Amino acid sequence: MNTAEQLLSQAQVSQYQRDGYLVVQDVLTPEEVDAFVDYENESKPEGWRENLMHHKTDDIWRRVATHPRIIAMATQLNGAAPLIVQTMYLEKKPSGEDGKAGTGTALHQDLHYLPCEPATLMACWVAMSDTDSENGGLAVVPGSHTGELRSTHRTENVDDHDSWEVEYDMVAPDGRRWKEKMYSFEIDDLDHSEVKRLEVPRGSAVFFTGKTIHGSYGNRSRDRVRRAFAVHYVAEGTWVYRGDVHDTMPAGQ
């Protein structure tokens, strides 16, 4: 990598390797965040946010997923040119007067959802609003990326988390195909005292590995929408097993 592309210090890289995640301030400018949020506030077709492939067809989503600063940091942290697996916009409504909070995602490891070989999966979670524990910001378990994948169960806390079950088509490098049932994974026997709820300002980002335990809780604020854009990357040469996201896109496109 060119020296000019080394946007992270060695201390930041070491922290990522030690903790399994890294918060980086001001990855996007306020103008870049405004442009994306304004675009998402426009009328969209039904099911728009269920589509994980907008980075391939939509210029606004692609602009964030392939942002030069994000890609340079992802390359530095993962050690290889990144391929985009999927993109998601995660908007969580406040509780408002009815007291019903927008729900989050149970604490999990991404490799349960996106198995790949080798296990080079990583994510970049970009705050598109100020995020914290009150409005359902990102939570992580530092150091949880070491060792094997943890066992899971389907989430039971539906006050805070979405609960679902879906069957996906899977494909292996040798051409074998099968169907695999996935659900809203939650880590078994998680020590919640180890969970760290992050404060990530608008325009800043969290990078984390495919094994790092993370998730979010309900938005308990009265009037603060929690907005985030998430991209999952793998290193060049990685096989992604899930059929719907198997065809990765080079981040340089």
Q: Residue 227 has what pLDDT? A: 98
Q: Across-strand partners of 247?
A: none
CA distance 102 to 160: 8
CA distance 96 to 236: 44
Q: Encode pLDDT of 24-66 as tens digits.
A: 999 999 999 999 999 999 999 999 999 999 999 999 999 999 9
- Residue 1: pLDDT band with limits 50, 70, 90: very low
Q: Which fold has domain 20-37+48-245?
A: Jelly Rolls (2.60.120)
CA distance 11 to 229: 26
Give residues with Cβ within 8 angstroms of 28, minimum separation 6.
Answer: 64, 67, 69, 126, 203, 205
Q: Encode pLDDT of 158-194 as tens digits.
A: 888 999 999 999 999 999 999 999 999 999 999 999 9
Mean pLDDT of 198-222: 97
The DSSP symbol for 175 reads: S
Helix (H) / strand (E) element for 75: namely helix 68-78
Q: H-type helices in 91-168, by residue range?
A: 110-113
Mean pLDDT of 14-28: 98
Residue 2 has pLDDT above 80, yes or no: no
Q: Residue 218 has what pLDDT? A: 93
| % of the chain exceeding 70 in pLDDT | 96
Q: Residue 101 has what pLDDT? A: 79
The DSSP symbol for 20 reads: S
- Per-residue buried b or exposed e for 205-222, using 16+ beta carbons within 10 Å of the residue's own CB: bbbbbbbbbbbbbbbbbe
Q: Residue 48 has what pLDDT? A: 97
Q: Residue 133 has what pLDDT? A: 96
- Residue 3: pLDDT band with limits 50, 70, 90: very low
Mean pLDDT of 188-213: 97
Domain segments of the chain as ranges = 20-37+48-245
- Residue 107: pLDDT band with limits 50, 70, 90: very high
Give me the chain's average pLDDT, please.
95
Q: Residue 158 has what pLDDT? A: 87
Q: What are phi and psi of 9, to 5 degrees?
A: -75, 165
CA distance 247 to 153: 28
Residue 206's alpha-carbon distances to 59, 135, 248, in angstroms, are 23, 17, 21
CA distance 181 to 204: 34
CA distance 76 to 6: 7
Residue 249 has pLDDT above 50, yes or no: yes
Q: What are phi and psi of 59, to 5 degrees?
A: -65, -35
Burial classification of residue 192, based on how many CB atoms lie within 10 Å of its CB (0-12 exposed, 13-18 middle, 19 or more buried): exposed
